[in-house]
């Protein structure tokens, strides 16, 4: 016996609704597999430009997908990507009458670049044994917030490993080098700034050289 026309219509409508739901589930599944982030469909060079523009959002960008995570990490590790550290300051002094001299080296970055620098620290030193030896301070200069990263070297024990580690953060160009006033400083600084160009060199209490490149 045939089902009443009303019942048949309800069955057909129910089947159609279930078919639409099934198709929607399939479409969602396909979209998830094909691309988990719209950025993945862009050329890598364009993604790098976006990352460079949004340096303060690196952590969020890394969470968009595995592919974007890899691209962000590649960007962060590129030493020549762009200028990160804008100023390197040095301070050479004696600690009391011990006869031991200390050399402080400070890397100053604008606040919006600090996340990129911190991320590079983590990628270069996942164990954190070198990172924890670096002091961090927040300072205000010309209405802007800056981050300062500093390490103290003892004149009798200069860690080549730490010099190499600090060099990873410099990029290829810095704006200014200040307060160089001793041969000991110059030796460490020369090693630290190997292949790095800077626009201004200030030699404390001796002379100031502008628009120079070393």
Q: In terms of C-beta density within 10 A (0-12 exposed, 13-18 middle, 19 or more buried), how is residue 22 classed?
A: exposed
Q: Are 185 and 103 in contact (CB under 8 A)?
A: yes
How much of the chain exceeds pLDDT 70, in percent? 62
Q: If you ran DSSP here, which 8-state letter would residue 3 be given?
A: P
Over residues 178-195, the mean pLDDT reads 69
Instruction: Give yes or no for residue 14 having a pLDDT over 60.
Output: no
Residues 1-12 have pLDDT tens digits of 555 555 555 555
Instruction: Give yes or no for residue 191 having a pLDDT over 70.
Output: yes
Residues 122-177 have pLDDT tens digits of 888 889 899 999 999 988 877 778 888 888 887 656 677 888 888 777 766 677 77
Instruction: Give yes or no for residue 72 having a pLDDT over 80.
Output: yes
| pLDDT for position 25 | 41
pLDDT grade for 184, boundaries at 50, 70 and 90 = low
| pLDDT for position 30 | 41
Hey, which residues does 141 pair with through a beta bridge? 144
Q: What is the pTM of this model?
A: 0.62
Q: What angle do CA 206, 162, 144 make, to 5 degrees?
A: 60
Instruction: Give yes or no for residue 22 having a pLDDT over 80.
Output: no
Contacts of 171 (CB under 8 A, 6+ apart): 79, 80, 81, 82, 83, 84, 85, 196
Mean of the per-residue pLDDT values for the chain? 71
Residues 94-115 have pLDDT tens digits of 777 766 778 788 888 888 888 8
pLDDT grade for 39, boundaries at 50, 70 and 90 = confident
């Amino acid at each position: 016996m045939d089902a009443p026309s009303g019942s048949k219509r309800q069955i057909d409508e129910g089947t159609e609704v279930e078919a639409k739901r099934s198709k929607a589930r399939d479409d969602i599944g396909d979209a998830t597999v094909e691309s988990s982030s719209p950025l993945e469909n862009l050329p890598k060079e364009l993604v790098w430009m976006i990352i460079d523009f949004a340096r303060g959002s690196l952590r969020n960008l890394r969470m968009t997908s595995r592919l974007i995570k890899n691209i962000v990490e590649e960007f962060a590790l590129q030493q020549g990507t762009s200028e990160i550290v804008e100023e390197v300051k040095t301070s050479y002094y004696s600690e009391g009458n011990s006869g031991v001299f200390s050399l402080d080296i400070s890397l100053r970055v604008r606040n919006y670049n600090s996340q990129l620098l911190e991320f590079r620290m983590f990628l270069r030193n996942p164990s954190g044994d070198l990172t924890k030896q670096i002091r961090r301070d927040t300072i205000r200069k010309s209405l802007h917030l800056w981050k300062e990263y500093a390490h103290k070297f003892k004149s009798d024990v200069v860690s080549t490993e730490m010099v190499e580690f600090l060099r990873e953060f410099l990029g290829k160009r810095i704006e200014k080098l200040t307060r160089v006033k001793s041969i000991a400083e110059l030796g460490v600084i020369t090693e630290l700034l190997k292949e790095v160009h800077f626009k201004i060199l200030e030699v404390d209490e001796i002379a100031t050289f502008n628009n120079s490149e070393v």
